[in-house]
């Protein structure tokens, strides 16, 4: 007689403090040592961290299927950002191919004063991000152009990238068209426009500090890396390679119009890329044998980045973009989501966040705990959305019990969530900015001044009570 062995359902246990902290601390340590000191690939380190988290989750009673389902769910949540990443890569390649970005570089080098390059990069990125609601779009369009101008003028590329990131996320924070600006009041229970107005308490001082630094840094270092002769050579080569015509700026106009009219982001960028290819063929006259061959060439260049015949410096300047250029970023996002899925489904992340709520007895402590929670979620998941949603849900009742208006929470979520994520190398935003601007995240981080001084201002306001709004009696 055969016995039927039924598979026992594993008993799940809640993680202890040590068990919850171990995988997260392990991840921080191997990233600091492996990536920061040894220069190892971040993807490998994130997979190793996910493996350690998986072993801990299995010990807590979770099986592989549950972990896999959580990983797939996290990857699924990251797919919209990933598809946008591919679309922006395609668009950047197209903007190079049709000559739009080279034209902005060509005239920008003549117009922009090197001493004010960093200030110009901030304002240009901030304005575009403010009117479109997308920091990624601002960095991928005007930000790329600013990097090209900075390269031509010999201005520090990490400093310029930091100014672009600061400006792009200044606009992202304050634009009513931004997804995170709408998500933060939704998570906290406040209202959109009162949330935007409340953010001025921290964002304006942070911006003033950034602009002061950019101004004096520009006076000191601008234009010291190139000679007028090298700039003249670059200008001559760009002029010989492209036919500059205002019509080639149409893709920029289409992207901006799509943002105003709230067209779907991905189709708008893909259509703009097609337009770039057509303009490259018609205006620039790029062709191999006939129209069909030139069309194929145009698609190929939009996918892999523009390749032209010029000096090495100019090729580095314009050989940017293409879907292939963001493939590595996609892999990094998937690896990070693997770790995020495991620590989330096993309750380890919730345990760490609960620890942050203990012994909070003041407004400053509550705001500080919110910031710490945003830091934790940002560093462990690399997701802008989770950095807002998870702490928002966790702290919503705590703010209400303290008699604090919900807009205090929504402001803190943006000050320490939205603007922090692009400073995390393994996050989607951090990896995107690094690939798009051509500067490593840790290299531009010190120059992304608005991003971290806003956090400092949030702490100062919490301690002093300035800009902290109480719940009205009628509420």
Tell me whether residue 439 is in a domain. no
Write the secondary structure of 403-419 as one string of H (helix), E (strand) and C (coil).
Answer: CECHHHHHHHHHHHHHC
- Cut 0.75: pTM above it: no
Instruction: Examine the domain organization and report whether 72 and 84 are in the same domain.
Output: no
What residue ranges of the chain have pLDDT lower than 50?
A: 1-6, 222-228, 289-292, 294
Tell me whether residue 440 is in a domain. no
Tell me whether residue 436 is in a domain. no
Of 326, 343, 369, which marks where a domain is finished?
A: 326
Instruction: Examine the domain organization and report whether 90 and 205 are in the same domain.
Output: yes
Q: Which residues pair with 470 in a beta bridge?
A: 404
Instruction: Examine the domain organization and report whether 234 and 144 are in the same domain.
Output: yes
Euclidean distance between the first and the last CA atom of the chain, given in angstroms as a whole number:
71
Tell me whether residue 359 is in a domain. yes
Of 302, 326, 350, which marks where a domain is finished?
A: 326
Tell me whether residue 202 is in a domain. yes
3-state secondary structure of 227: coil
Within 10 Å of residue 460's Cβ, how many Cβ atoms?
A: 15
Instruction: Examine the domain organization and report whether 54 and 177 are in the same domain.
Output: no
Instruction: Examine the domain organization and report whether 68 and 104 are in the same domain.
Output: no
Q: Whole-angstrom Cα distance, residue 144 to residue 154? A: 15
Tell me whether residue 12 is in a domain. no
Write out the residue range of the structural domain in which residue 151 sits. 79-326
Instruction: Examine the domain organization and report whether 98 and 205 are in the same domain.
Output: yes
Tokens representing residue 333 in the block: 């996002």
Q: Are 461 and 201 in contact (CB under 8 A)?
A: yes
Total structural domains in the chain? 2
Question: pLDDT tens digit string along 344-355?
Answer: 899 888 887 777
Instruction: Examine the domain organization and report whether 362 and 420 are in the same domain.
Output: yes
Instruction: Examine the domain organization and report whether 54 and 173 are in the same domain.
Output: no
Instruction: Examine the domain organization and report whether 311 and 177 are in the same domain.
Output: yes
Instruction: Examine the domain organization and report whether 211 and 336 are in the same domain.
Output: no
Q: Whole-angstrom Cα distance, residue 324 to residue 309? A: 21
Q: Whole-angstrom Cα distance, residue 196 to residue 173? A: 8
| Structure confidence at residue 210 (pLDDT) | 94
Instruction: Examine the domain organization and report whether 69 and 122 are in the same domain.
Output: no
| DSSP result, 2-21 | ----PPPPPPP-PPPHHHHH
| Structure confidence at residue 35 (pLDDT) | 67
Q: What is the CA radius of gyration of the chain?
A: 24
Tell me whether residue 474 is in a domain. no
Tell me whether residue 471 is in a domain. no
Q: Are 144 and 126 in contact (CB under 8 A)?
A: no
Question: pLDDT tens digit string along 246-299?
Answer: 999 898 888 778 767 778 878 888 898 889 888 888 888 766 544 445 455 555
3-state secondary structure of 383: coil
Instruction: Examine the domain organization and report whether 249 and 398 are in the same domain.
Output: no
Of 295, 326, 357, which marks where a domain is finished?
A: 326
| Structure confidence at residue 313 (pLDDT) | 61
């Amino acid at each position: 007689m055969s016995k039927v062995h039924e598979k026992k359902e594993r008993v799940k246990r809640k993680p202890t403090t040590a068990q919850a902290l171990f995988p997260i601390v392990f991840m921080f340590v191997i990233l600091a040592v492996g990536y920061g000191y040894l220069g190892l690939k971040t993807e490998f380190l994130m997979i190793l961290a996910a493996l350690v988290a998986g072993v801990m989750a299995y010990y807590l009673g979770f099986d592989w299927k549950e972990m896999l389902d959580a990983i797939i769910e996290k990857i699924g949540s990251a797919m919209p950002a990933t598809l946008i990443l591919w679309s922006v890569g395609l668009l950047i390649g197209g903007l190079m191919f049709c000559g739009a970005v080279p034209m902005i570089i060509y005239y920008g080098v003549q117009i922009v004063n090197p001493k004010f390059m960093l200030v110009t990069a901030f304002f240009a990125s901030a304005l575009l991000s403010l009117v479109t609601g997308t920091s990624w779009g601002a960095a991928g369009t005007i930000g790329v152009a600013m990097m090209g101008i900075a390269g031509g003028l010999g201005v520090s590329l990490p400093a310029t990238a930091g100014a672009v990131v600061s400006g792009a996320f200044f606009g992202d924070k304050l634009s009513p068209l931004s997804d995170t600006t709408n998500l933060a009041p939704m998570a906290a229970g406040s209202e959109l426009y009162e949330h935007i107005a409340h953010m001025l308490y921290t964002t304006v001082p942070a911006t003033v500090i950034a602009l002061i630094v950019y101004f004096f840094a520009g006076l000191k270092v601008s234009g010291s890396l190139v000679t007028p002769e090298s700039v003249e050579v670059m200008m001559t080569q760009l002029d010989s390679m492209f036919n500059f015509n205002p019509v080639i700026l149409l893709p920029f106009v289409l992207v901006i119009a799509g943002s105003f009219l709230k067209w779907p982001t991905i189709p708008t960028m893909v259509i703009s890329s097609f337009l770039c290819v057509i303009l490259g063929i018609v205006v620039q006259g790029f062709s191999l044998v006939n129209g069909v061959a030139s069309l194929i060439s145009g698609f190929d260049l939009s996918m892999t980045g523009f390749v032209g015949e010029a000096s090495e410096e100019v090729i580095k300047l314009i050989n940017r973009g293409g879907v292939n250029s963001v493939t590595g970023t996609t892999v990094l996002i998937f690896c990070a989501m693997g770790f995020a899925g495991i620590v989330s489904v096993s309750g380890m992340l919730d345990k760490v966040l609960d620890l942050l709520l203990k012994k909070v007895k003041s407004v400053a402590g509550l705001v500080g705990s919110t910031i710490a929670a945003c830091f934790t979620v940002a560093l462990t998941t690399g997701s802008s959305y989770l950095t807002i949603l998870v702490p928002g849900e966790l702290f919503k009742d705590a703010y209400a019990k303290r008699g604090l208006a919900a807009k205090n929470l929504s402001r803190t979520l943006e000050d320490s969530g939205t603007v922090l994520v692009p400073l995390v190398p393994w996050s989607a935003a951090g990896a995107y900015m690094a690939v798009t601007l051509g500067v490593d995240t840790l290299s531009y981080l010190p120059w992304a001044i608005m991003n971290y001084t806003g956090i400092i201002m949030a702490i100062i306001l919490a301690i002093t009570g300035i800009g902290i709004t109480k719940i009205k009696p009628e509420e």
